[in-house]
Structure 1
Amino acid sequence: MPYLIIILLLLVAVAGPSLWVSRVMSRYSKPTDRYLISGGEVARRLLDELGLQEVGTEITEKGDHYDPVQRMVRLSPRNYQDCSLTAITIAAHEVGHALQHANGYMPLMLRTQLVRWVAPVEKTGAALLMATPLIIGITRAPIAGLLMAAGGLLTLGAGVVMHLLTLPTEFDASFGRAMPLLKKHNILAVRDESHARRLLQAAALTYVSASLMSLLNVARWWAILRR
């Protein structure tokens, strides 16, 4: 029962930030012509001002992000083309990641390395956990199953570690890079500063939900194995 309560609390914790982030992003996505410059143009301008002409910009259907491998700032169609507060703020946030990369910001560099192996490791962990009851049934040795379960939980926990490492990266991109850039280059209207801060907080908190989801996955499997 305690594990069920923990899982329910985690579900609420996961859903809460996600709903708030969606609400904030939607609220400031209109009017679409609030500024005279689009999100894509903001990204290009800031990159050029920073001397990062080698970093490209393009539209993506896979969500706003910076790709450190291909050195590309990718924005959703709306954030690339619209001139809304959301569009220019999110564009600046992703440029913040490009600046982190150029400066060798350690949390980003570590996360980039982790991303390459976390997904297959998590899949291995899930497979080990699913196989645990079968192994116990075949070998009749509970210790073998416990070892497999421990290994599975540890590998699933790798995702938690990666997402926790992502949090400082996101907040630095928002408040250590994006906000100063928007103000320095006179892109952001003074009246919108508080709203932009809320948007940048939402951009960073997107990964809080991902972190909690990874933790929820571990807790769910632990509850199953405790039965």
Structure 2
Amino acid sequence: MPYILIALAIVTLIAGPQLWVRFVLWRHSKEIADMPGSGAELAEHLIERYQLEGVKVVKANPNENYYSPSEKIVALSPEIYHGKSVTAVAVAAHEIGHAIQFCKEEPVSKLRDRYLTRAHQIKRIGAGILVFAPILTFAIKSPAMALWMGAVAVITMLSSALMYVAILPEEFDASFNKALPILKEGYLPENLIGAANSVLKAAALTYVAGALLDVLRLWRWIRFIR
């Protein structure tokens, strides 16, 4: 029984942030009748206001919201692109915050180049090792090989998660030094600023929450290899 409770506590700590992020975004996604514009319209207005040359707004797949520095694209999911909710305008403002960082070449924008690309590469390596570990173990009939490859995979995946944590300053800057002050300038009424603050916090923690969920998936693979 204690082991079950410990396992549940670990799963809650790992999956909890991701569930919280999704809950916050869902909670404030109710359409507001007198909202002056959708997420996409706000993003396009801010691009013009801040003279972000070459930056475009596109509609992405569901649950995909990001800024691509190489393409100069603010990608918004359909619910954010068309939405007229606190979640829609706050997430759109957050992604525009990233666009401002990169277009103005602010020091904080260097964190993504330094860590995020590397994190993706390391995660792919770790995932590849986990996939091929059972095959190689079966082929050469060496349990030691499985343990060695499993250890390497664990190290690479955990390193990836730590790199997501390293870009938090960039995420919080986009939310609270860029998006929140913008929204306070009359883009949202005062009574909705608190809700926007919660959404922006969730947006800033999205990468870390996703990285923690990867750790949970990693544990499932470790059990499979064992």
Any unmatched runs of 5+ in structure 2?
Answer: none
Aligned partners of 1:136 and 1:55: how far apart in 2? 52
> Is the contact made by 2:60 and 2:77 (CA closer than 8 Å) also made in structure 1?
yes
More deviation, 43-52/118-127: 118-127
TM-score, normalisation: structure 1: 0.81
Other-structure match for 2:41: 41
| Structure 1 position 203, deviation (Å) | 1.5
Other-structure match for 1:117: 121
- 1:104-160: CA deviations, max 9, x gaps? 42222224432552353133221354346437734x7x4x55433332222223431
Report matched runs for 1:52-201 at 5 Å: 52-62=52-62, 63-102=64-103, 103-104=105-106, 105-114=109-118, 117-131=121-135, 133-134=137-138, 137-138=141-142, 142=144, 144-183=145-184, 185-201=185-201
| Structure 1 position 60, deviation (Å) | 1.2
Aligned partners of 1:128 and 1:7: how far apart in 2? 27
Letter in 2 for 1:47: I
Task: Find the residue that maps to 2:58 and give its secondary structure.
Answer: strand
Q: Residue 3 and residue 198 in structure 1: after superposition, are their counterparts in 2 closer, same or farther (change >3 A)?
A: same
Q: Residue 10 and residue 48 in structure 1: after superposition, are their counterparts in 2 closer, same or farther (change >3 A)?
A: farther
Percent identity between the two aligned chains: 33
> Is the contact made by 1:67 and 1:73 (CA closer than 8 Å) also made in structure 2?
yes
> Is the contact made by 1:128 and 1:151 (CA closer than 8 Å) also made in structure 2?
no
Q: Note if 1:24 corresponds to 2:24.
A: yes
Other-structure match for 1:214: 214
More deviation, 162-171/4-13: 4-13
Any unmatched runs of 5+ in structure 1?
Answer: none
Aligned partners of 1:179 and 1:136: how far apart in 2? 57
Letter in 1 for 2:206: T
Aligned partners of 2:155 and 2:126: how far apart in 1? 9
Letter in 1 for 2:28: Y
TM-score, normalisation: structure 2: 0.82
More deviation, 41-50/24-33: 24-33
Q: Residue 3 and residue 65 in structure 1: after superposition, are their counterparts in 2 closer, same or farther (change >3 A)?
A: farther
| Structure 1 position 202, deviation (Å) | 1.7
Task: Find the residue that maps to 1:52 and give its secondary structure.
Answer: coil
> Is the contact made by 2:15 and 2:212 (CA closer than 8 Å) also made in structure 1?
no
> Is the contact made by 1:101 and 1:108 (CA closer than 8 Å) also made in structure 2?
no
Q: Residue 213 and residue 54 in structure 1: after superposition, are their counterparts in 2 closer, same or farther (change >3 A)?
A: same
| Structure 1 position 98, deviation (Å) | 1.2
Number of residue pairs aligned between Structure 1 and Structure 2:
222
- 1:174-206: CA deviations, max 9, x gaps? 1122112222x4312222111110111121232
Task: Find the residue that maps to 2:216 and give its secondary structure.
Answer: helix
